[in-house]
A = this chain, B = another copy of it.
Amino acid sequence: MAYFRIACLSLLVAAAAHAENEEAGRTRAQVCAVCHGQFGISVDPAAPNLAGQPAAYLVEQLRNFRSGKRENPVMSVIAKPLSDEDIDALARWYASIEIEVKQP
């Protein structure tokens, strides 16, 4: 029973950290909204929608922009000062936005 309680507590702590991380990402994403929209739906035809993108994909792309492996006049500047924590938080925030596709 004690193990079960510890396991539950660990899950709760992990879930709280996850939510906190998402919230941090939401705050950091304010500058991104200029091109990618308030909820990750792009307001610029040259910028992709980020809402509902897989977090792993977003992390990889932000790291690539930061390192210079992927280049874009705006994103190369934006990504430069981001820490790994910033990148994780941003990725979690955008991945947390649910999207629904209407079958064409």
Residues of A within 8 A of B (CB): 26, 39-42, 44-49, 51-57, 60, 69-71, 96-104
Contacts and interface: CB of A to CB of B under 8 A. Distances in A.
A1 to B, nearest CB: 36
A56 B49 CA distance: 12
- Report whether over half of chain A's contact residues are helix, strand or loop; otherwise say mixed: loop
B98 A49 contact: no
Task: Count identical subunits in the complex.
Answer: 2
A23 B92 CA distance: 34
A102 B104 contact: no
B103 A39 contact: yes
Contact of A45 (B26, B46, B57): B57
A48 to B, nearest CB: 5
